[in-house]
Structure 1
């Protein structure tokens, strides 16, 4: 299993958000963001395989969710074209789950398990 996972739920519809593009990056020692991987949410709203097992290193990471394209495909007016969540990895041996609860005019996130 990927050491970083995500689950996107569309609270407007009360179901998983399918087809949301997600990009994972890590900040290097110079403060630049380095691309790690990209994926899209599946039928369950999950992004499988963002990182290979053992591929996690401590440091600041960020996930960017392309929410604008998701809502545009549904022809839904929205306010946030993307959602970027930055988080700090302290222990590379732990699992980090970053859920996104999404609506056209707001979002919420937390560290899940």
Structure 2
């Protein structure tokens, strides 16, 4: 068998084996259930430009105590908080003025309730210079 054909056969075996093994790993992880890094995630989007807002400081607060803090990444996303969060009322506080100075709102506080401690919450902010909105995402 020519050396080139042997090399191609070996590469094909490695590639196919990798795909098969990767599928086994994905199936075994799925059987274990999802891993939850945090109980809460957020996303800040500038609706005027259609782009994410990176670097927004965000705090997760309950009863005046900060439970988590961080800054949105290059895609405007951030995961916060221990998993799971107990049932109760929380606040997400977004300090938008430092990275989005055109905002009329220097700080945005979103109060929300958790009823199911096992559920993951996604609370994005859609931001524009003179307004914002939020919703419970998935």
TM-score, reference length from structure 1: 0.85
* 1:101 partnered with 2:126: yes
Cross-structure match for 2:59: 23
Cross-structure match for 1:45: 76
Q: Which runs of 5+ in 1 are unaligned?
A: 28-32
Q: Whose helix fraction is larger, Structure 1's or Structure 2's?
A: 2
SS where residue 71 of structure 1 aligns?
A: coil
Deviation at 1:36, TM superposition (A): 0.5
Matched residues in 2 for 1:94 and 1:25: separation?
18
Q: CA RMSD in A?
A: 1.1
1:15-38 deviation per Cα after TM superposition (whole angstroms, max 9, x unaligned): 1111100010112xxxxx111111
Cross-structure match for 1:30: none
Cross-structure match for 1:14: 50
SS where residue 78 of structure 2 aligns?
A: coil
TM-score, reference length from structure 2: 0.70
Matched residues in 2 for 1:47 and 1:6: separation?
5
Larger Rg computed on CA atoms: 2
1:69 to 80, 89, 98: 98
